[in-house]
Amino acid sequence: MVEAVALAALTLDAALGWPSRLHARIGHPVGGFARIIAKCERRWNRPGLRDGARRIGGVATLLVLLTVAIGCGWAVEWLIQRTMGSWAWVGVALAAWPALAQRSLYDHVLPVARALEAGKLDDARRAVACIVGRDTASLDEAGVSRAAVESLAESFCDGVVAPLFWLLLGGLPGIWAYKAANTADSLIGHREKPYGPFGWAAARFDDLLNLAPARLSGFLVCVAGGRGWRVMWRDHKRHASPNAGWPEAAMAGALRVRLGGPIRYDGVLHDKPWIGGSHRDVTPADLRRAMRIFLRACALLWGLSAFLELGL
């Protein structure tokens, strides 16, 4: 049943995303995780606590999140199976659908591409600021294009491949446990103050959950792009993350451009290494090509889910 659930959830996400009207009325489940994290942070990451106590608080925060996510996922799946019988797969797909982000990711990158193509650099900077954490006010056309391509590649794993992977392995408890951990990593899994020790558990657990999906993401990007294997194997370690480098290096190789490089956060320049076998900078045309590769890679996931469903 889980393969049919995966196909149905992918279809719902591709067709609808997470509609703005629905978001306005009920929010999004990830928002619930964020509120739990905020409450735990106020209690267990207070100023003046020692690093050891803050690290223990971070572990406790992660355990609270996982307990809520797995418990609710199991309860909802059990209730659906009890009440919907042979149609339970439809209900489970509806409950899994919000955890996927194919449509949302594409819809967030599209305004960046359109603004760049129209020559509206300021609009492109504002649009890309919605999807990246770096400083964007001084980015040139290549910098905006590069930021968008990097976000698209990395988020292909976090927003599409990894949730689907854990749905196939663990059903609703699996997909929502992943989303809880990934949300925690995004919000508190940083070395900078005020997180550091408090966010350690979230960052490390997210790394663990993404080990297989990240490598699968890189594989799919290379297949969808028709190349990129050599760059992926050579350059994935140049990324600070043990996982994000796989899809990012694969995308750099597929496009034959360079990604990464010096990035400014909160006014501070971080001299990160370049990723990619080419010294050519990213252009708006490359961003469009990356978006097409993303769509083909998503289609490959659909095909993989159908393959598993048919039991071939």
pLDDT at 59: 97
Is 295 buried (19+), middle (13-18) or exposed (0-12) by CB count in 10 A?
middle
- Mean pLDDT, all residues of the chain: 93
- Cα dihedral 183→185→186→189 (10° resolution): 150
Sorting pLDDT into bands at 50, 70 and 90, what band is 311? low
| Portion of the chain with pLDDT greater than 90, in percent | 79
Euclidean distance between CA atoms 176 and 73, whole angstroms:
7
Q: Is the pLDDT of residue 312 over 90?
A: no
User: Could you tell me where the DSSP H helices lie in the chain?
Assistant: 2-16, 20-26, 29-44, 51-84, 88-96, 102-117, 121-129, 141-156, 162-188, 200-209, 211-225, 229-235, 245-255, 284-310
Q: Tally the residues of the chain.
A: 312
Instruction: For the chain, give every domain's residue range.
Output: 2-310
Find the largest Cα–Cα distance for the chain: 58
SS3 29: helix
Euclidean distance between CA atoms 93 and 89, whole angstroms:
6
Q: Which tokens hold the place of 23?
A: 């978001």
pLDDT digits (tens, 9 = 90+) for 156-204: 999 999 999 999 999 999 999 999 999 999 999 887 777 889 999 999 9
pLDDT digits (tens, 9 = 90+) for 20-77: 888 778 888 899 999 999 999 999 999 888 989 999 999 999 999 999 999 999 999 9
Choose the most confident range, by mean pLDDT, from 187-191, 295-299, 306-310: 295-299
CA angle in degrees (0–180, nearest 5) for 152-241-297: 30
Euclidean distance between CA atoms 218 and 246, whole angstroms:
5
